[in-house]
Amino acid sequence: MPLIDTFGRKINYLRLSITDRCNLRCSYCMPSDGVEKQAHSDILRFEELYRIASVATELGIEKIRITGGEPLVRKGVIDFLSRLSTLPRLKELVLTTNGVLLPKMAADLHAAGVKRLNVSLDTFHQQTFSRITRLGKLTDVLDGIQAARAVGLPVKINTVVMRGINDHEILDFIAKTSDPSVSVRFIEYMPVIKKEGWQSLVMPGQEILDYICQTHQIEPVDSGRRCGPAKMYRVKGAGGNFGLITPLSGHFCAQCNRIRISADGHASSCLFSDDRIDLRCALNQQEDLFLKEKLREMIGAKPAQHHLSTTHAPHVPFSMSNIGG
């Protein structure tokens, strides 16, 4: 039976964060001094995360995306994914990563049943990479993408476009889509940490599209079922594609099909909602009935839309690594 919210939206997509820890410090995800790490006891055990995922699929969730923090830094993640991939009602298990650990883990992820990866890559230049991530080497990410493709794992590239930082590389990413294996998502900068002057970094999706159209002819592409909010296109004649994700300038709330659960057990029906439901009490109950009730309660409270725009952000600031992207 489909899981329908009060606005008639079919909820079939769960973003499940398994850790708040990360091996990078991306400027749009967390403050420069990082975030206070949660105690080990505050993070849900894999058994609890699996139970949530199992109950969610019984309610109607068909797609699960594993997020963090950086999910690959958590010990035991491969065994967890292998178990998760066997859930009988789950149609798609995917994972978002910064790619740093992929050179060593891509083969294991494929064997565990992960169907696709989203890899965060905002630049092709090490200097800009260091400015954005504050840590790490660009070559690790590029090698990780190649390692994933080599074992048959499809990769989507997530690129947060920031005016004055990496917007001049948009056409470099577009050039990569001539390869049929390349799919890029250009994402509007979002003010999750309420950095002062954040508005100057936002390049609206329509402006990105207009910029591409100055030098390329494009055509729309069907995004398919259970896909995220990207509006998809391809350059005419190209084998790959690109998409625009516009949470500020053109929110996609009317088609939102997702819920989020953080690594410490808080469920949210909207990334920018300050209302979150604590699932830990329900997890302490032996019967799944209590957990199902909490998930239904959260979905029942899913708002019609968020109220962010390119000029203001009324939500309480948070670190993306705490709630999951």
The pLDDT confidence band at residue 213, using thresholds 50, 70 and 90, is very high
* CATH classification of the domain holding 245: 3.20.20.70
pLDDT at residue 71 is higher than 80: yes
In a domain, 319, yes or no: yes
pLDDT at residue 177 is higher than 60: yes
Average pLDDT over residues 163-173: 98
Structure tokens at 311: 């000029």
In a domain, 132, yes or no: yes
The pLDDT confidence band at residue 193, using thresholds 50, 70 and 90, is low
Q: Which has the minimum average pLDDT: 159-163, 187-191, 234-238, 291-295?
A: 187-191
Average pLDDT over residues 227-248: 90
Q: Which has the minimum average pLDDT: 7-16, 84-93, 296-305?
A: 296-305
pLDDT at residue 314 is higher than 90: no
In a domain, 1, yes or no: no
Average pLDDT over residues 126-134: 96
At 165 the pLDDT is 97
In a domain, 4, yes or no: no
In a domain, 133, yes or no: yes
pLDDT at residue 256 is higher than 90: no
CB atoms closer than 10 angstroms to residue 173: 22
User: Is the separation of the CB atoms in 205 and 188 below 8 Å?
Assistant: yes
In a domain, 6, yes or no: no
The pLDDT confidence band at residue 255, using thresholds 50, 70 and 90, is confident
Residue located via tokens 């302490």: 284
Whole-number Å distance between alpha carbons of 208 and 134? 25
* Residue among 244, 228, 249, 231 at smallest CA distance from 306: 249
* Residue among 15, 14, 18 at smallest CA distance from 263: 18
Structure tokens at 131: 């400015």
Find the domain containing 201 and state its range: 13-323
In a domain, 33, yes or no: yes
At 313 the pLDDT is 53
pLDDT above 70 coverage of the chain, percent:
88
Say whether 324 sits in a helix, a strand or coil.
coil
209: left (phi over 0), alpha (psi -120 to 50) or beta: alpha
In a domain, 7, yes or no: no
- The more confidently predicted of residues 270 and 198 is 270
At 228 the pLDDT is 66
Q: Which amino acid is at 265?
A: G
Global pTM value: 0.90
At 28 the pLDDT is 87
Strand (E) or helix (H) holding 68: none
At 318 the pLDDT is 46
The pLDDT confidence band at residue 280, using thresholds 50, 70 and 90, is very high
Whole-number Å distance between alpha carbons of 129 and 147? 20
The strand pairing partners of 157, in sequence order, are 119, 184
Average pLDDT over residues 280-295: 96
At 297 the pLDDT is 93
Number of separate domains in the chain:
1
